[in-house]
Structure 1
Amino acid sequence: MNEHAANESELEALRYPIGRPAQLEAFEDDQLEAWIEDIRRLPDRLEAAIEGLSEAQLDTPYRPGGWTARQVVHHLADSHMNAYVRLKLALTEDKPTIKPYDENVWAEQPDAGSLAVGASLLILRGLHTRWAFLLESLTPEQLRRSFYHPESGTWTLLGVQTEHYAWHGKHHASQIASLVERSGWR
């Protein structure tokens, strides 16, 4: 393997420590319980990943050219709030078109760059409690409701969205945990 390919492979492993998302188009009802549990557990998983980190450590990028650990925590709150709103829209409207946003521009805002991570951890704790509760209450028919994403031109079933955000939370918590391990901070 040449050096360029090795560097790309290393960056891929840093960016996707648990692998890339599944890109599902359908799901089976028996898969939902594990995904909902992953959503419920994200705040604990994230708190464990950042436990004891100093402000300087939180301001360390998890990979070259990547967000800082602090930005990752705030991104999770931003992203998962948007996901929850999309879920509610799909439950209360007929095939809604959701509002896209630029996650990189959001991550550059002052709150994501310098605010203490505790604010987003509080959001995530409350949000994920509500999200898991709501998901557990949905019927199989409701989980097959969908929303339209105008940038990607795709329809997403709520059950598929559940899988994606179960993965998304583990993905970002693992990025931080990997940074901590590689840096020898614990």
Structure 2
Amino acid sequence: MSPSEKDQILKRIEEGSARLAEYAGLAPETLSKPYAPGKWTGVQVLFHLAQTDTVLLYRFFKTVAEPGSPIVPFDQDRWVAEPDAASRPVRLSVELSLGARQVLAHCLRSLSDEVLARSGRHPERGELSALGIAKIAADHTLHHLEQLEAIRAGQPWKPK
């Protein structure tokens, strides 16, 4: 792995965290609309990010500590439909996500390339290294931030 690859992932994690933090104080009404017809609301997107960042941090630790372990998938739509999703304050979802991302960024700075190369096996994605899991976390948040920005702007989101 090149130092620039790790640095690029770290930069995307930090960029995503800075942009995500802006949503902690937004009124729930602002985030009550879906990013496109029939899609998740902003509140649900933030809830999903909190769940996914937590899952990805767990997968990262599992891969680092137990190389070769299976990486268990989860059904994001069932998780986002969890009863707590509608009542959890947006701030809590954002804080959970930011905390997981801070820990992940710290690990990228402190762990050796050898440790970050350890991998596990996902049944749909195949072999994933710890660094690969960090990349998924970075890219996943940036993807959903586009949706949140569309909601905040009152525009439907269009994939790039």
Bucket of the pairwise TM-score, normalised by the shorter protein? 0.7 to 0.9
How big is the shift at 1:153?
5.6
Partners of 1:102 and 1:173 lie apart in 2 by: 20
Residue segments in structure 2 that go unaligned for 5+ positions in a row: 156-160
How big is the shift at 1:70?
0.3
Structure 1 residue corresponding to 2:18, chosen from 44, 54, 62: 44
Partners of 1:124 and 1:57 lie apart in 2 by: 19
How big is the shift at 1:57?
2.4
Amino acid at match of 2:32: D
TM-score, with structure 1 as normaliser:
0.76
Amino acid at match of 1:33: D
The equivalent residue for 2:69 is 96
How big is the shift at 1:107?
0.6
Structure 2 residue corresponding to 1:129, chosen from 94, 99, 102: 102
The equivalent residue for 1:147 is 120
Q: Identity percentage over the alignment? A: 29
Q: 1:51 to 1:181 in 2, by over 3 A?
A: farther
Q: 1:125 to 1:82 in 2, by over 3 A?
A: same
Q: Does 1:159 align with 2:139?
A: no
Amino acid at match of 1:128: R
CA RMSD of aligned residues (A): 1.8
Contact 2:24 2:91 in 1 (8 A): no
Amino acid at match of 1:113: A
Partners of 2:61 and 2:106 lie apart in 1 by: 13
| 2:128 counterpart SS class | strand
| 1:55 counterpart SS class | coil
Contact 1:74 1:117 in 2 (8 A): yes
Superposition pairs for residues 166-181 of structure 1, below 5 Å? 166-181=138-153
| 1:58 counterpart SS class | coil
| 1:141 counterpart SS class | helix
The equivalent residue for 1:112 is 85
Mark the structure with the bigger radius of gyration: 1
How many residues align? The count is: 155
| 1:77 counterpart SS class | helix
Residue segments in structure 1 that go unaligned for 5+ positions in a row: 1-26
Give 4+ residue runs of structure 1 displaced > 6 Å after superposition: none
Contact 1:61 1:69 in 2 (8 A): yes
